Amino acid sequence: MEKGCFLFVALFMANCLALSLASTPAQNVTTDVSALLEFKNLISSDPFSNLANWSSTNFVCNWQGISCNLQNQRAMALNLSNLSLTGTIAPHLGNLTFLTSLDLSFNNFSGFIPTELANLQQLQLLHLNNNSFSGAIPLSLSNISNLERLNLEYNFLEGSIPQGIGNLSNLKTLTLGHNQLTGSLPYGIFNMSFLEEIDLTENSLSGSLPLDICNYRSKVKKLYLSMNQIQGAIPQFIYKCRDLEHLSLSYNQLHGTIPRTLGYLSKLKDLSIGANTFEGGIPLEIGNLTNLEQLDMKSSSLTGRIPLSIFNISSLRMIDFSNNSLSGSFPAGMSYNLPALEQLYLYTNHFDGSIPSFIWECKNLVVLRLAENNFTGGISKRIGNLTSLKGLDLNDNELTGGGGKISSGARYWPC
């Protein structure tokens, strides 16, 4: 009985396989050779003759940049990254049906990305980044269900991101930054099971972050959305993206208050939300982020005081609260622990009192900018301990030093 059943299933599967083979174009090594030669035909410049051995007199599996499947000797990977190639992509590339990896990054390919690439149903990696592709991202790419890595950054792609991208359930990295993409964020991407990295930096994407962000499944570790036109508030549910290590939302049009729930994202190393227009102050809970290395809240209309617990996050290398309306002073007895701090930006705020004394203990400090505040008193001799300092700006405060008030001198002193 069990055997019969197995046989039936096997026959059924063989049938399916035969059917699927019958419905796709010719399937042998000759197909690959002709597809690749068509592709080569549209390469108008190959200054270092990298494709010189792409000829039918050589076995295709030995051509530069080709790796073959050992069993059927079909092209499995095509890697022509960084070879100074210029040209357009022939649609024939879509006939390389055994391809699992296609890397044409760091060249000068232009024109549209052919929709025929969706025929590459085995494809796991597609890297076309750092070229001159234009036009829209083909909707058909959402059909390559095995895709794990999609990188199209640094091109001239326009139009919106296909919402169907959210259907690519095996996707691990989605890198579409530095293009001219418009429209709203594809909401599906915030609930994808395997997606670890989303980079949409520097496009013209609009709309807001979904209120139920990461409410279903998400392993996202890196979320880079800076330099877009994203509106609305940072959702409270952001804490459900609990694997986040890098969150970059700076240079957008975000409003509302900074949610306290950010403090639950205990793996965060990089929190960059500056250059937005928030209301209110910095939540105390930010001080709970004990793995932070980079904290950027510049130019964001923030008011109130900086929670002093932030100055106890020993992993911090960069702190930028510049150009806000923050106030208050830094008490002499405050506790702090910033052994790794390299850059501190507090300029253009309303801080008063003495320059925080912890600064003189940050031996790795490279840049210190405190200008345009109301700091008073002198500059400690211990400034001489900061042997790595390359940039210092203390102008436009109420400081006394060398017998007089320091004001409006050179804006930036390189040491």
Ligand X SMILES: *[C@@H]1O[C@H](CO)[C@@H](O)[C@H](O)[C@H]1NC(C)=O
Burial zone of 117 (CB within 10 Å; 0-12 exposed, 13-18 middle, 19+ buried): buried
Q: How far apart are CA 58 and CA 52, in angstroms?
A: 10
Stretch that binds ligand X, among 30-38, 245-253, 269-277, 404-412 (CB under 6 A): 30-38
What minimum distance in Å lies between the beta carbon of 309 and ligand X?
6
Report if residue 163 touches ligand X, rule: CB under 6 A: yes
- Does position 411 interact with ligand X (CB under 6 A)? The reply is no
User: For ligand X, which residue of 97, 143, 203, 272 counts as binding (CB under 6 A)?
Assistant: 143
Q: How far apart are CA 192 and CA 86, in angstroms?
A: 35
Does 137 bind ligand X (CB under 6 A)? Our answer is no
Which among 25-33, 242-250, 312-320, 387-395 is the span making contact with ligand X, rule CB under 6 A?
25-33
Rounded least distance, CB 3 to ligand X, Å: 34
Beta-sheet strands, E only, within 144-210: 149-151, 156-160, 173-175, 180-182, 197-199
Q: What is the helix (H) or strand (E) element at residue 44, kind and residue range?
A: strand 43-45
Measured between alpha carbons, how far is 310 from 359 in angstroms, rounded to an integer? Answer: 14
197, 324, 404 from 321: Cα distances, Å: 26, 7, 28
Assess 380 for contact with ligand X (CB under 6 A).
no
- 31 contributes a contact to ligand X by CB under 6 A: yes
Q: Which of 135, 164, 207, 304 binds ligand X (CB under 6 A)?
A: 164
Under the binding rule (CB under 6 A), the answer on residue 116 touching ligand X is yes
- The 10 Å Cβ neighbour count of residue 313 is 22
What are the Cα distances from residue 119, in Å, to 13, 74, 142?
21, 15, 11
Burial label, 146 (beta-carbon count in 10 A; 0-12, 13-18, 19+): middle
Cβ-Cβ contacts under 8 Å for 10 (sequence gap 6 or more): none
Among 91, 159, 183, 232, binds ligand X (CB under 6 A): 91
The tokens for 190 are 């915030």
Closest by CA to 204, choosing from 186, 187, 228, 231, is 228
Q: How far is the CB of 4 from ligand X (least distance, A)?
A: 32
The residue range among 31-39, 169-177, 199-207, 338-346 that interacts with ligand X, by the rule CB under 6 A, is 31-39
Question: How crowded is residue 161: how many other Cβ atoms within 10 Å of its Cβ?
Answer: 25
- CB-wise, 275 or 310, nearer to ligand X? 310
Binding to ligand X (CB under 6 A): which residues in 311-370?
350
Segment lying near ligand X (by CB under 6 A), choices 135-143, 225-233, 242-250, 268-276: 135-143
Q: How far is CA 318 from CA 79, 87, 344, in A?
A: 38, 42, 6
- Distance in angstroms (rounded) separating the CA atoms of residues 163 and 173: 16
| Among 105-113, 229-237, 246-254, 273-281, the segment contacting ligand X (CB under 6 A) | 105-113
Whose Cβ is closer to ligand X: residue 7's or residue 17's?
17
Token reading at 221: 């570790």
Residue of the chain from 41, 385, 388, 407 that contacts ligand X (CB under 6 A) = 385
The one segment of 108-116, 194-202, 206-214, 274-282 that binds ligand X by CB under 6 A = 108-116
Task: Give the one residue of 20, 41, 82, 277 binding ligand X; rule: CB under 6 A.
Answer: 82
Binding site for ligand X (CB under 6 A): 25-26, 28-31, 34-35, 53, 58, 62-64, 79, 81-82, 86, 91-92, 94-95, 101, 103, 106, 108, 110, 116, 118, 125, 130, 139-140, 142-143, 154, 163-164, 167, 263, 284-285, 287-288, 350, 372-374, 381-382, 384-385
